[in-house]
């Protein structure tokens, strides 16, 4: 319903095309009827009415058939455009050749706007290059729906002659036209087409984002995947996430769950839960297509371990991690990696989110419970709390890790008393438990353990206070993020991202720009733990200013791990303007990024082609920078002339008084200025003398 009644005519017309090509349901017919009562645009309303009539005939099992002779008569009667549109939609392929001649003879491109979309759709299927001229004329039509339909037909019939038409439309004020032009422009300039697409994709207007996603589905999937994953981390809109999920599930590959999980580490709350659901939806799509042979839960476990190993690998590559910090036990793993399957589903499978567009079959996948993943009821091990005191420290920690909310409520007094005597892992597990099920009143007890020397306990305090007392924790998080212990740094960074993304961006920017190499190195290692979108620009700024060979290499590792065309262009620009002693190091970063991007794009473009595109983009950007500087200088000169101080003589091109008297300049302008000054000095002397004589006369008389 939302697609038919929304602001984007492209979505509505695409939806109607799909309905016309299949056997409709009564539900779809009812939706069309409701949409017809709502839509105000005459072209969209006309097309909805056509689809509704066609659906009604199909539901009644009645075939609407117009002969070629009847079609010829309908072309002469503009009062029966409704019947003509229905006739165009039902023309059989065998008669399409003759029908096309009738339409050309009748000058179909001059018909009223509402039916032009029907003609464009017909010629997209049954036309040829001879129809290109008429379609090109319609690309200058006043109605956006007609323009987009004509562009879609031209893209199929005569793509080689479209560039001259498309380029002006890239800046069209009508988003539907702009998006259709961007889709067609990809054939000539991939980088520029994607650049224009991203402006729509990252718009603050949800309707523009949805339109961009609609057209993104027509781009080669490897080209748009990194941008879709970035968008995934920036929005919580169910309608947008639903459309991203549709694209992901339709293009599910073995690396996709890893890439989504990688960015989901730095999300929090409901946003993280929604993205977890998308991961599970993609995994199920992989299972349904036979790309994975293990169970969903086994695959998720392997995925979690792969994330952990990759994270440690990158951390070791970007900073010196001691062997003690690298040996992550179960508790540390919990601190670093978010649990993929929560205790409760973020969205009940039986109650999908009621949002615009929720009638679509491919809705956001709900996060299932453990019972749904395993396919059977989950047996929670019995907890014998009476024998607790006889257990070892490790057994106590394991027992506390299995505690659920009911057990916590029933045994809260005893658990609270244990906080006074527990130590080590047992205490860390207790603090984690209170962080999950406790209240704000428990925060005071936990605060007393924040400054302990045990990393496990400190990490548990950080996680617990992130839910119990965020304001207090924020006072210590910057300090924890720079702690010498890797576990504490990682936990604090993850928690801080979930609390305040802007503040952590500021902190990381400060570290990456610090005078101390050690501080900058710490900033790089922390950058690996947060959403790349948060640190993307700070990392580029740091690379631009960096003077250390080692740091250039470290920054290159982080940037190369998140390749896309836009990033390659930015890094190439920096490399072209770096100091001469670092040219080779920057070149290595650019080449590594190009190689990684080639792999990410499934070799749609080779590394050499990507570098050539980056070089071309650099030349364009260089010209834009030079033009902007020239304009700025011109405006600066105008401003200076407007602010001319005749006493100081500061205006460029003017001559100061001192220069006039000391210079032998033969310039006529200088001579006139000198003469004018001399005359005014003489006038002042004469006027002063006259005033003095008058004063003497008044005082002493004659």
User: How far, CA to CA in Å, does 603 sit from each of 223, 563, 607?
Assistant: 10, 13, 8
The answer as to whether 455 is a domain residue is yes
Other Cβ atoms closer than 10 A to 560: 21
The answer as to whether 631 is a domain residue is yes
The answer as to whether 510 is a domain residue is no
Domain enclosing residue 679, as ranges: 657-700
Give the pLDDT confidence score for residue 334 in this predicted structure: 42
Give the pLDDT confidence score for residue 677 in this predicted structure: 67
Say if residues 146 and 120 touch (Cβ distance below 8 Å). Answer: yes
Which token pair is 223? 């080209």
In terms of domains, do 637 and 662 share one? no
Give the pLDDT confidence score for residue 670 in this predicted structure: 56
Cα–Cα distance between 170 and 155 in angstroms, integer? 15
Dihedral angle sign, alpha carbons of residues 183, 184, 185, 187:
positive
Cα–Cα distance between 277 and 540 in angstroms, integer? 32
3-state helix, strand, coil in the chain (%, to 5): 75, 0, 25
In terms of domains, do 411 and 481 share one? yes
Give the pLDDT confidence score for residue 28 in this predicted structure: 84
| Among the listed residues 349, 360, 13, the one whose alpha carbon sits nearest the alpha carbon of residue 179 | 13
Q: Mapping DSSP to helix (H, G, I), strand (E, B) and coil, where does residue 188 land?
A: coil
Give the chain's count of helices (H) and strands (E): 39, 0
Number of compact structural domains in the chain: 4
The answer as to whether 470 is a domain residue is yes
Say if residues 106 and 78 touch (Cβ distance below 8 Å). Answer: no
Which token pair is 370? 């453990």
Last residue of a domain, one of 316, 338, 369: 369
Cα–Cα distance between 648 and 656 in angstroms, integer? 7
Q: Phi and psi at residue 174, in whole multiples of 5°?
A: -95, 115
In terms of domains, do 339 and 239 share one? yes
The answer as to whether 44 is a domain residue is no
Last residue of a domain, one of 499, 522, 551: 499
pTM score of the predicted model: 0.64
238's CB contacts (< 8 A; 6+ apart) are 274, 353, 355, 364
- What angle is formed at CA 350 by the lines to CA 347 and CA 351, rounded to 5 degrees? 55
In terms of domains, do 480 and 568 share one? no
In terms of domains, do 410 and 451 share one? yes
In terms of domains, do 398 and 494 share one? yes
Widest CA span in the chain = 128
Cα–Cα distance between 374 and 602 in angstroms, integer? 33
Q: Could you state, in chain order, the average pLDDT of each consecutive group of 10 residues for the chain (702 residues)?
A: 67 84 85 85 89 88 80 87 90 88 92 93 92 92 92 90 88 90 89 89 90 90 90 89 92 91 81 90 92 89 86 61 43 39 33 36 34 41 64 81 81 84 86 87 86 89 88 84 82 79 82 88 82 88 92 91 90 92 93 91 87 90 82 68 47 45 52 64 70 64 56
In terms of domains, do 638 and 611 share one? yes
Residues listed for the chain: 702
DSSP conformation letters of 284-339: HHHHHTTS--S-HHHHHHHHHHHHHHHHHHHHHHHS---HHHH---HHHHHHHS--
In terms of domains, do 315 and 395 share one? no
Last residue of a domain, one of 595, 621, 643: 643
User: How far, CA to CA in Å, does 346 sit from each of 278, 282, 341?
Assistant: 11, 16, 10
In terms of domains, do 488 and 569 share one? no
In terms of domains, do 392 and 278 share one? no
The answer as to whether 212 is a domain residue is no
User: How far, CA to CA in Å, does 453 sit from each of 326, 424, 493?
Assistant: 18, 10, 19
In terms of domains, do 609 and 485 share one? no
The answer as to whether 619 is a domain residue is yes
In terms of domains, do 415 and 477 share one? yes
Q: Residue 374 burial (CB < 10 Å; 0-12/13-18/19+)?
A: middle
Which token pair is 215? 């057209």
Q: Phi and psi at residue 97, in whole multiples of 5°?
A: -60, -45
Q: Mapping DSSP to helix (H, G, I), strand (E, B) and coil, where does residue 96 land?
A: helix
CATH of the domain at 470: 1.25.10.10
Cα–Cα distance between 232 and 275 in angstroms, integer? 8
Say if residues 193 and 185 touch (Cβ distance below 8 Å). Answer: yes
| Among the listed residues 221, 307, 201, 294, the one whose alpha carbon sits nearest the alpha carbon of residue 257 | 307
Cα–Cα distance between 663 and 649 in angstroms, integer? 14
User: How far, CA to CA in Å, does 622 sit from each of 199, 613, 617, 639?
Assistant: 21, 14, 8, 25
């Amino acid at each position: 319903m939302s697609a038919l009644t929304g602001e984007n005519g492209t979505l509505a017309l695409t939806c109607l095309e799909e309905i016309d090509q299949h056997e409709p349901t009564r539900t779809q017919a009812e939706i069309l009827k409701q949409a017809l009562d709502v839509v105000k645009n005459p072209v969209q309303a006309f097309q909805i009415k056509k689809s509704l009539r066609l659906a009604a005939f199909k539901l009644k099992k009645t075939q609407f058939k117009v002969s070629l002779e009847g079609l010829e008569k309908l072309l002469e009667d503009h009062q029966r455009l409704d019947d003509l549109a229905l006739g165009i939609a039902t023309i059989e392929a065998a008669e399409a050749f003759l029908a096309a001649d009738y339409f050309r003879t009748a000058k179909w491109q001059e018909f009223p706007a509402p039916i032009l979309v029907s003609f464009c759709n017909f010629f997209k299927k049954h036309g040829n290059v001879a129809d290109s001229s008429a379609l090109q004329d319609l690309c200058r039509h006043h109605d956006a729906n007609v323009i987009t339909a004509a562009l879609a037909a031209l893209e199929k019939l005569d793509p080689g002659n479209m560039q001259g038409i498309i380029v002006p439309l890239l800046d069209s004020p009508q988003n539907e036209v702009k998006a259709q032009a961007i889709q067609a422009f990809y054939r000539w300039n991939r980088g520029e087409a994607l650049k224009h697409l991203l402006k729509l994709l990252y718009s603050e207007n949800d309707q523009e984002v949805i339109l961009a996603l609609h057209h993104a589905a027509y781009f080669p999937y490897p080209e748009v995947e990194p941008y879709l994953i970035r968008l995934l981390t920036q929005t919580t809109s169910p309608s947008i996430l639903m459309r991203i999920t549709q694209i992901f599930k339709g293009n599910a590959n073995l690396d996709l769950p890893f890439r989504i999980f990688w960015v989901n580490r730095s999300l929090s709350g409901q946003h993280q839960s929604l993205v977890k659901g998308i991961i599970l939806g993609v995994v199920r799509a992989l299972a349904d297509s036979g790309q994975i042979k293990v169970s969903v839960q086994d695959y998720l476990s392997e995925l979690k371990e792969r994330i952990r190993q990759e994270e440690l690998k990158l951390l070791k590559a970007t900073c010196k991690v001691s062997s003690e910090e690298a040996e992550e036990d179960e508790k540390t793993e919990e601190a670093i990696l978010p649990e993929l399957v929560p205790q409760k589903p973020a969205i009940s499978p039986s109650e999908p989110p009621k949002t615009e567009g929720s009638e679509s079959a491919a809705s956001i996948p709900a996060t299932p419970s453990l019972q749904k993943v395993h396919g059977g009821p989950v047996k929670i091990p019995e907890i014998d709390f009476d024998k607790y005191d006889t257990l070892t420290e490790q057994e106590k920690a394991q027992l506390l890790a299995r505690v659920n909310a009911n057990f916590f409520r029933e045994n809260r007094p005893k658990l609270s008393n244990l906080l006074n005597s527990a130590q080590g892992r047992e205490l860390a597990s207790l603090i984690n438990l209170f962080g999950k099920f406790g209240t704000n009143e428990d925060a005071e007890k936990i605060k007393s353990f924040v400054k302990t020397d045990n990393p496990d306990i400190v990490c548990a305090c950080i996680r617990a206070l992130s839910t119990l007392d965020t304001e207090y924790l924020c006072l210590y998080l910057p300090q924890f993020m720079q702690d010498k212990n890797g576990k504490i740094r990682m936990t604090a960074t993850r928690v801080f991202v979930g609390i305040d993304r802007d503040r952590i961006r500021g902190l990381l920017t400060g570290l990456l720009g610090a005078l101390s190499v050690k501080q900058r190195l710490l900033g790089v290692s922390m950058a690996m733990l947060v959403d790349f979108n948060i640190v993307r620009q700070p990392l580029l700024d740091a690379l631009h200013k960096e003077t250390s060979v080692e740091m250039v290499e470290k920054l290159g590792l982080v940037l190369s791990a998140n390749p896309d065309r836009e990033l390659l262009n930015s890094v190439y620009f920096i490399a072209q303007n770096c100091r001469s002693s670092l040219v080779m190091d920057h070149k290595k970063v650019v080449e590594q990024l190009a190689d990684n991007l080639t792999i990410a794009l499934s070799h749609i473009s080779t590394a050499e082609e990507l570098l050539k595109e980056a070089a071309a983009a650099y030349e364009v950007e260089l010209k834009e920078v030079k033009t902007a500087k020239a304009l700025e200088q011109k405006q600066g000169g105008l401003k200076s002339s407007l602010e001319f101080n005749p006493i100081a003589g500061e205006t460029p091109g003017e001559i100061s008084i001192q220069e006039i008297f000391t210079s032998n300049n033969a310039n006529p302008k200088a001579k006139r200025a000198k003469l004018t000054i001399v005359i005014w000095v003489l006038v002042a002397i004469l006027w002063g003398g006259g005033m003095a004589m008058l004063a003497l006369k008044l005082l002493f008389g004659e």
